[in-house]
Amino acid sequence: MLTRQRNTNELQRFAPFSLVDWDSPWATFGSLRQDLDRLFGAYERSIADPYSNGEGASEIRDTGNELVLAVDLPGVSKKDVELSISGDNLFVRASRTATAPEGYTTHRRERASFKFEHAWRLPVQVDAQKVEAKLAEGVLTVTLPKSPNAQPKQITVEAG
């Protein structure tokens, strides 16, 4: 913003450039640019990865005998998670509703309701009967034992 500076010289003369703080407009533009970069950067990240805010961030690890899926679902309760396997696809659906406790009024809300739906194509066959899922501290952990046909086997080589 432009600011006025008072000329303290005893001799009052007109000096138009002394009335303006020339550093201020550039600082203002720099601040505006940073705000726009932050705004549009967040928008681009949300388009590229809708779960970039941490809600629904996931990873799949292969431990050798099983696959382990970990999904961040902060604030989601066990009853709001739906998990299913169909063929070589794993489906997770979850939701969180942000409501004020009974008798309270919300003045500001930074924690929004959200719905999470995602499907993963599993790289190997899993034994769907032995799949286990646990939701603790906002992280859904799904353990998927590999099918006996998909587990690595050591083959001995004979001479002859």
Average pLDDT over residues 73-97: 91
Residue 31 predicted with pLDDT over 50:
yes
Tokens of 46: 């949300």
- Predicted TM-score (pTM) of the model is 0.59
Task: Give the β-pairing of 132-136 and 58-62.
Answer: unpaired
The pLDDT of residue 45 is 54
Q: Nearest CA to 55 among 37, 80, 34?
A: 80
What's 58-102+110-145's CATH class? mainly beta
The pLDDT of residue 51 is 47
Q: How confident is the model at residue 94 (pLDDT cuts 50, 70, 90)?
A: very high
Residue 78 predicted with pLDDT over 80:
yes
Which residue ranges make up each domain of the chain? 1-48, 58-102+110-145
Average pLDDT over residues 91-101: 87
**Which residue is listed with tokens 């009967």?**
129
Lowest mean per-residue pLDDT among 7-21, 23-37, 100-114, 136-150: 7-21
The pLDDT of residue 92 is 94
Write out pLDDT tens, residues 121-143. 999 999 999 999 999 999 999 99
